[in-house]
């Protein structure tokens, strides 16, 4: 693949990375037999996850030994999350209790592509990723996986594979046919993706709906939105093209020296008729928003520490009070991330 094709591929893949980070799954309280070994569904699901990772490798010339298949270049920060009193009206989750202590968090910001040497100002860097791990008592943790684009280019794992193949192919007819039949993917590709002034100056979105359940067992579907308290700030196209390859890490170091980097964690709530299983369809801006709390990030974590080297995020790593929706991307994303994670730990 030529460098221009790689840049194009990287731009196309940006939304995929984001979507992989944030999909929920169906809820069914009735005990059922979920799957029989050897059934076509279970085997096909396993094969699809492997195919997705292989497709990512084709797009990004991987695998790159010891690296993530996508959102490869990143920076991990430490901090705390303090719940807002309104959060308990939506969910009984432990970290959303305002009467408890702040929860320690690890937050990983990342460029989009699966290229370890991705330059922060070049195509492939955006949309950026933001993954949050809340560290709860008893060794329990729960995650949020988000990116800086409000939506996902495709709605299903099968279409995600089609998307990756369309990005990787040298056959323009195949590529054009895919985007002609998948308008959300086309919209994603065409959307402006400016370089942020800082990872701390752009909004991140959880693209998959989750079901939040409060102590009274009242449930609402919602999607995460993570807003920078410093406000959204982006570089001009000219300034973005001129920044150094590791600009965002250097900028974050300088920003933290002046004080914590803070975000407001929100949940946008679905109206009764809003689509909760299709990540390509953002909800209208007039939907109610609940403030869940504030993230305060204070230091950059050591990339060489075991805790950071073994860091793994899943949009399905949930705790009581937050359930998945029936978004079909959720399980596929989790398995895809798992394959990448195990390969990374093995140095492959």
Partner 1 sequence: MRRTLIGCGIVAFFATLGSLGFALGSGVAINISQKGRAFLPGAIEIAKGDTLAIHNDDEYIHQVFVDNPSFKFDSGEQDIGQTVDITFPASGTFQVLCAIHPKMRLDVVVK
Active site residues: 71
**C-beta of 101: minimal distance to partner 1 in Å?**
21
**C-beta of 55: minimal distance to partner 1 in Å?**
17
Q: Does 234 bind partner 1 (CB under 8 A)?
A: no
Binding of partner 1 by 37 (CB under 8 A): yes
The least distance separating partner 1 from the CB of residue 280, rounded to whole angstroms, comes to 20
- Is 22 within 8 Å of 144 (Cβ atoms)? yes
Q: Is 45 in the site for partner 1 (CB under 8 A)?
A: yes
Which position among 42, 177, 239, 241 is part of the footprint of partner 1 (CB under 8 A)?
42
Euclidean distance between CA atoms 66 and 58, whole angstroms? 17
Q: How many CB atoms lie within 10 A of CB 118?
A: 23
Q: Per-residue x/- marks for partner 1, 111-150, CB under 8 A?
A: -----------------------------x----------
Q: 311-337 in b/e burial notation, b at 16+ Cβ within 10 A?
A: bbbbbbbbbebbbbbbbbbbbbbbbbb
Q: What angle do CA 253, 259, 262 make, to 5 degrees?
A: 95
Tell me if 38 contacts partner 1 by CB under 8 A: yes
Decide: 38 and 88 in contact? Cβ < 8 Å.
Answer: no
Scan residues 313-342 and list those touching partner 1 (CB under 8 A): 314, 316-320, 323-324, 330-331, 334-335, 337-339, 341-342
Q: Determine the distance from the C-alpha atom of residue 39 to the mean position of all C-alpha atoms in its chain, rounded to a whole number.
A: 30
Phi/psi for 307 (5° steps) reads -60, -40
Q: Smallest distance, Å, CB 35 to partner 1?
A: 5
Q: For residue 113, count other CB atoms closer than 10 A to its CB.
A: 29
Q: Is 228 in the site for partner 1 (CB under 8 A)?
A: no
Site residues (CB under 8 A) for partner 1, limited to 17-36: 25-36
For residues 3 and 29, which CB has a smaller minimum distance to partner 1 in the complex? 29
How far does the chain reach from its first CA to its final CA, in angstroms?
Answer: 22
Nearer to partner 1, 150 or 334 (CB): 334
Contacts of 238 (CB under 8 A, 6+ apart): none
Rounded to whole angstroms, how far apart are CA atoms 300 and 313?
18
Closer CB to partner 1, 119 or 277, in the complex: 277
Please work out, in degrees rounded to the nearest 5, the angle formed at the alpha carbon of residue 267 by the alpha carbons of 261 and 273: 155
Question: Contacts with partner 1: how many residues (CB under 8 A)?
Answer: 42
Interacting residues toward partner 1 by CB under 8 A: 25-38, 41-43, 45-47, 49-50, 140, 310, 312, 314, 316-320, 323-324, 330-331, 334-335, 337-339, 341-342
């Amino acid at each position: 693949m030529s460098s221009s094709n790689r840049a194009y591929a990287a731009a196309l893949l940006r939304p995929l990375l984001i979507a992989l980070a944030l999909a929920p799954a169906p809820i069914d309280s009735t005990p059922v037999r979920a799957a029989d070994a050897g059934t076509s569904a279970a085997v096909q699901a396993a094969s699809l996850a492997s195919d997705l990772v292989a497709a990512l490798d084709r797009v990004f010339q991987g695998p790159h030994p010891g690296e993530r298949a996508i959102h490869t270049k990143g920076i991990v920060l430490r901090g705390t999350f303090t719940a807002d009193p309104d959060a308990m009206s939506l969910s009984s989750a432990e970290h959303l209790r305002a009467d408890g202590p702040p929860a320690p968090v690890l937050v990983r910001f990342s460029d989009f592509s699966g290229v370890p040497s991705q330059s922060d100002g070049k195509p492939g860097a955006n949309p950026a990723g933001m993954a949050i791990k809340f560290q709860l008592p008893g060794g329990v943790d729960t995650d949020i996986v988000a990116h800086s684009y409000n939506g996902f280019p495709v709605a299903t794992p099968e279409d995600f594979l089609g998307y990756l193949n369309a990005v990787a192919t040298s056959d323009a007819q195949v590529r054009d046919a895919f985007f002609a039949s998948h308008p959300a993917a086309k919209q994603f590709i065409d959307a402006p993706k400016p370089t942020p002034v800082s990872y701390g100056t752009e909004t991140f979105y959880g693209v998959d709906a989750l079901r939040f359940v409060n102590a009274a067992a009242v449930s609402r579907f919602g999607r995460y939105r993570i807003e920078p308290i410093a406000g959204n700030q982006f570089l001009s196209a000219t300034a973005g093209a001129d920044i150094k390859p590791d600009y965002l890490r250097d900028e974050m170091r300088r920003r933290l020296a002046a004080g914590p980097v803070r975000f407001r964690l929100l949940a946008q709530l679905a109206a009764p008729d809003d689509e909760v299983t299709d990540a390509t369809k953002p909800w209208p801006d007039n939907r109610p928003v609940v403030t869940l709390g504030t993230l305060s990030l204070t230091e950059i974590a050591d990339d060489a520490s075991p805790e950071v080297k073994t860091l793994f995020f899943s949009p399905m790593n949930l705790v009581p009070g937050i359930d998945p929706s029936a978004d079909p991307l959720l399980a596929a994303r989790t398995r895809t991330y798992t394959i990448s994670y195990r390969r990374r730990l093995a140095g492959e």
